Amino acid sequence: MKKTIIITGASEGIGSAMALEFARRGYALGLISRRMELLQKVKKDGLALGASQIHLESVDVTDEIHFESALSSLDQKLGGAEFFVANAGVTGRSSFDETAWPSAKKTLLVNAMAAIHGLEVMKVKMLARGRGTLVGVSSVAGSRGMPTGGAYSSSKAALTTHLETMRVDLKGMGISVVTIAPGFIDTSLTKKNKGKMPFLMQPEDAARIFATAIEKKKVWAIAPRPYFFLYPILQMLPRAWFDFILSRTYRSIRG
Ligand SMILES: NC(=O)c1ccc[n+]([C@@H]2O[C@H](COP(=O)([O-])OP(=O)(O)OC[C@H]3O[C@@H](n4cnc5c(N)ncnc54)[C@H](OP(=O)(O)O)[C@@H]3O)[C@@H](O)[C@H]2O)c1
């Protein structure tokens, strides 16, 4: 197996933690996000940890033309990436004023449209080589419509569903598809939350679990561990119970 990987949203949080974990495992990396100064720091740390090479692209993943050319450039520099991780994501809260749509649109564009765009572009490249692994970082929040985060939940539900279709479509073609569904991980994204987040995990610990799942081409990876059981329970909750329980718990966590 070639040890080459492209990760979006690699400047901080789960993305940078995964980049450093794969660096530790001796990979050649292609990293994408908007903030170059943070990417440079990840590159410096990653090379010190053992990455064979690290290439950077500062690009907004919603800028379709630049995103596609960044993916092509990284893929070429890596000699054909074996793994692609669509990780870049943002969160937004439901609001009841004129900020509601811009926030929802941005969330859907980054988390659903750009993630699916990246996966589709890399799918074509991997199909031409007859091998590769496509990874999407979705969320437990994609399991149901979480209170206060309609656009976030629906963006992640769209991504999870698209990954599922890809997994079935690509069977027997040499391409694996991995869906990652984090619960609460301690990053800038969750720092906005006000309440106590159950089973909150450090990004480095989550990155170790996700990197191993990616290398093993597991269909589904979830962390922290309790969410492995909570995810199907959430999906099965009758609507009245879901409304009652989640409006009291999730809403108080998000503040
Ligand atoms: N933390 C959690 O509890 C949690 C739970 C479930 C799922 N997730 C998912 O995990 C992924 C990573 O989240 P995180 O918690 O690590 O968040 P984070 O710390 O806020 O990091 C988000 C990353 O995405 C990048 N990004 C955001 N918008 C971008 C854009 N338009 N173009 C390019 N890059 C962009 C950011 O880089 P720049 O700002 O430099 O561009 C940053 O590197 C997301 O998809 C998130 O939805 C997180």
Range with the lowest mean pLDDT among 28-32, 135-139, 187-191, 250-254?
250-254
**Residue 174 in this model has a pLDDT that exceeds 80:** yes
Catalytic site positions: 152
| Distance of CA 138 from the midpoint of ligand 1 (Å) | 11
Burial readout 91-107 (b: 16 or more C-beta within 10 A, e: otherwise): bbbbeeeeeeeebbeeb
Q: What pLDDT score does 75 carry?
A: 98
Q: What pLDDT score does 121 carry?
A: 98
**Residue 2 in this model has a pLDDT that exceeds 80:** no
| Distance of CA 105 from the midpoint of ligand 1 (Å) | 16
Predicted confidence (pLDDT) per residue in 108-138, tens digit: 999 999 999 999 999 999 999 999 999 999 9
**Ligand 1, closest atom to CA 8?**
34
Ligand 1 atom 17, closest CA: 189
In degrees and rounded to multiples of 5, residue 195 shows phi and psi of -90, 175
Average pLDDT over residues 175-187: 98
Residues in contact with ligand 1 by the CB-under-6-Å rule are 8-15, 33-35, 38, 60-62, 87-90, 110-111, 137, 139, 182, 184-185, 187-190
Average pLDDT over residues 33-50: 98
Mutate to test the pocket of ligand 1, among 34, 154, 160, 191 (most ligand atoms within 8 A of CB): 34
Average pLDDT over residues 8-28: 98
Ligand 1 atom 41, closest CA: 34
Residue 221's CB is within 10 A of a number of other CB atoms, namely 21
Ligand 1 atom 30, closest CA: 60
> What domain range is 67 assigned to?
4-254
CATH number for the domain spanning 146: value is 3.40.50.720
- What value does the mean pLDDT of the chain take? 96
Q: What pLDDT score does 1 carry?
A: 67
**Residue 211 in this model has a pLDDT that exceeds 80:** yes
Q: What pLDDT score does 41 carry?
A: 98
Those residues whose C-beta lies under 8 Å from the C-beta of residue 32, and which sit 6 or more positions away, are: 6, 7, 8, 9, 10, 56, 57, 58, 59, 61, 67, 70, 71, 74, 88
**Residue 221 in this model has a pLDDT that exceeds 70:** yes
- Tell me how many domains the chain contains: 1
